[in-house]
Amino acid sequence: MISKPKGTKDIYGTVAKRWKYVEKVIDEVMEKYHYGYIRTPLFESTELFHRGVGETSDIVTKETYDFLDRGERSMTLRPEGTAGVVRSYIEDKMYGDAIQPVKFYYNGTMYRYERPQAGRERELTQFGCEVLGSDDPAVDAEVISLAAQIYRILGLKNVTIHINSLGDADSRNNYRQALVKYFEPHLDLLCDDCKSRFAKNPLRILDCKVDGESELFENAPKMVDYLNEESKKRFEKVLEYLDILEIPYVVDSKIVRGLDYYNHTVFEFESDINETGSTMAIGGGGCYNQLVSELGGPEVCGVGFGSGMDRLLLALEHEGAQLPVKEDIDLYLLYVNDEEKKYAIYLAQELRMNGFIVEMENMKRSLKAQFKQADRLKAKFTIVLNSAELDEDEVTIKNTRTKEEEKVQIDALIYYLDENLEDDDFMCDCGDECHHHGE
């Protein structure tokens, strides 16, 4: 037997239905915020991620899937979505478009060679957005509120937004120096990864998963104390706009993000996915004011977020959030002889084309076994096609819940089903504004 690669998943059945529903909500919310859908390639030149995501990030140093194609070009399966979107923006000169800023959203598979565990896949699906061409802090707030709305509409409750500012280049330089001065006498206490981060990108030390909670880290200099006036004002604006939007947040100096391209606002959405009390980032993002120029474009700002579908679904499951996924079908068609079967084939298509979810017998089962199948499929109605009735252009339809049977003229069947199929009986506890109602 050939099994799936480690860190990948097959998604089908009820999980696939939940997945599709979440994707539908993402599409709807993104559309309301006026973000256009973008699909970029699953693989790109390796150089894009080295220059984009950053030489010192864990993602590039340890986690990319690199390969040489048959033309000996070095390619990489995308580990995230931002670099590809920015590459496309530059390549197609979107900075010259009449409509600015340029706003995109995406949803697709990314690849990271990580140690798989719950919520950490090697093939992960990430949705996210990017806004390019505006440095208005209101855009940062918009991007954060967009993600928050998606989580809220899905019914997720225990999510905390952790936000921080990495400031502009000047502020970060000052901070970097302060960190170097602080950690230098304690180098021997740092893990091997942090020792190399110390040399290449000391800010990333704060992202350490090994020692992050230790006293040494708790007492480290805080970025907010090194922000220059301009960066501080910009960060205050973002927070002010979030207040207007009534989006709660926690200012958290430990948020530095694992990718090298950020400055100014950075944020993470934390969910308490597991019982152990530890949290997991279901999303994260921030501003990147130099990424576009580093990749060969003009000096424009970008801001965006990425959110893991696998983690979001885990969080929804963990919180017991009810998603309005349909587990039943409207009608099951049963028959005995070949003439009735031919009619079933025809009728199933007619009704499907009129919007009903219809299944028919296809396993040569006895009538008794067909009824069992109707039960398994949770059919709301059944019709046993019967030649004698068909000659009279009628069928007997049975409501499987009330067990009532009724004779209906075939040309009135669509009307009958429309009248008798109850509206979605799904109820959820998400409050008045809940998107689920009226689905």
CA atoms within a 13 Å half-sphere pointing along the CA-CB vector of 3: 4
Question: According to the binding rule CB under 6 A, does residue 128 interact with ligand HAM?
Answer: yes
Question: According to the binding rule CB under 6 A, does residue 126 interact with ligand HAM?
Answer: yes
Chosen residue from 283, 301, 313, 385 binding ligand HAM by CB under 6 A: 283
> Least distance in Å: CB of 144 to ligand HAM?
11
Question: According to the binding rule CB under 6 A, does residue 311 interact with ligand HAM?
Answer: yes
Q: What is the DSSP string of 141-183?
A: HHHHHHHHHHHHHHT---EEEEEEE---HHHHHHHHHHHHHHH
Chosen residue from 9, 50, 120, 352 binding ligand HAM by CB under 6 A: 120
Question: According to the binding rule CB under 6 A, does residue 294 interact with ligand HAM?
Answer: no
Tell me whether residue 90 or residue 417 sits nearer to ligand HAM (CB atom): 90
Identify the H or E element spanning 406. strand 405-409
Chosen residue from 207, 306, 361, 397 binding ligand HAM by CB under 6 A: 306
Number of chain residues interacting with ligand HAM (CB under 6 A): 27
Question: According to the binding rule CB under 6 A, does residue 87 interact with ligand HAM?
Answer: no
Question: According to the binding rule CB under 6 A, does residue 121 interact with ligand HAM?
Answer: yes
Binding string to ligand HAM for residues 334 to 373, with x set by CB under 6 A, is what? ----------------------------------------
Residues 48 and 40: their CA atoms lie apart, in Å, by: 13
414 CB-contact burial (10 Å; exposed 0-12 / middle 13-18 / buried 19+): middle
> Least distance in Å: CB of 372 to ligand HAM?
40
Question: According to the binding rule CB under 6 A, does residue 167 interact with ligand HAM?
Answer: no
| Residue positions counted in the chain | 439
> Least distance in Å: CB of 132 to ligand HAM?
10
Looking at residue 12, its amino acid is: Y
Number of helical (H) and strand (E) elements in the chain, helices listed first: 15, 16
Q: What is the DSSP string of 186-233?
A: GGGGS-HHHHHHHHH-GGGGGG-TTTTTSHHHHTSPPGGGG--HHHHH
Chosen residue from 156, 203, 223, 281 binding ligand HAM by CB under 6 A: 281
> Least distance in Å: CB of 378 to ligand HAM?
32
Question: According to the binding rule CB under 6 A, does residue 307 interact with ligand HAM?
Answer: yes
Chosen residue from 82, 149, 279, 290 binding ligand HAM by CB under 6 A: 82
Stretch that binds ligand HAM, among 122-130, 162-170, 229-237, 396-404 (CB under 6 A): 122-130
Residues 310 and 65: their CA atoms lie apart, in Å, by: 20
> Least distance in Å: CB of 110 to ligand HAM?
7
> Least distance in Å: CB of 125 to ligand HAM?
8
Question: According to the binding rule CB under 6 A, does residue 133 interact with ligand HAM?
Answer: no
With beta carbons less than 8 A apart as the criterion, state whether 133 and 85 touch.
no
With beta carbons less than 8 A apart as the criterion, state whether 96 and 132 touch.
no
Nearest residue to 209 via CA among 319, 81, 120, 82? 120
With beta carbons less than 8 A apart as the criterion, state whether 426 and 439 touch.
yes
Looking at residue 99, its amino acid is: I
Chosen residue from 108, 133, 137, 284 binding ligand HAM by CB under 6 A: 284
With beta carbons less than 8 A apart as the criterion, state whether 372 and 378 touch.
no
Binding string to ligand HAM for residues 251 to 280, with x set by CB under 6 A, is what? -------xx---------------------
* C-beta neighbour count of 94 within 10 angstroms: 20
Question: According to the binding rule CB under 6 A, does residue 81 interact with ligand HAM?
Answer: yes
Question: According to the binding rule CB under 6 A, does residue 104 interact with ligand HAM?
Answer: no
| Sites of contact with ligand HAM (CB under 6 A) | 80-82, 112, 114, 119-121, 124, 126, 128, 130, 258-259, 281-286, 304-308, 310-311
